[in-house]
Amino acid sequence: MNCQGVLREISDYIDGELELSIKQELERHLEHCEDCKMVVDQTRLTVDVFCDSKPVELPGEVKSRLHDALRRKLNEKALRRPS
């Protein structure tokens, strides 16, 4: 899984709704990607604040803010490492 994949699955991951195989892939990615780890941690914190750690859909505003942050990070990376 790459960073885009994590971005796509993040809300299901935090809600605990991912298939086991996808969840394991995502966690393997987090082990070596600080950016995605940060986004997952931030999202978890936000969810805890909003809903007292009950599984819940992220508020749309929070979701888009996180997605924007990650997208900016991905763009920075692409600029630093042109393929």
- Catalog residues that contact Zn ion under the rule CB under 5 A: 3, 33, 36
Confirm if 5 and 26 have CB atoms less than 8 A apart: yes
User: Distances from the Cα of 29 to the Cαs of 43, 59, 75, in angstroms?
Assistant: 16, 25, 18
Q: How far is the CB of 17 from Zn ion (least distance, A)?
A: 20
Task: Please say which residue, 62 or 74, places its beta carbon nearer to Zn ion.
Answer: 74
Task: Please say which residue, 32 or 54, places its beta carbon nearer to Zn ion.
Answer: 32
Q: Which two tokens stand for residue 80?
A: 């630093």
Q: How far is the CB of 34 from Zn ion (least distance, A)?
A: 8
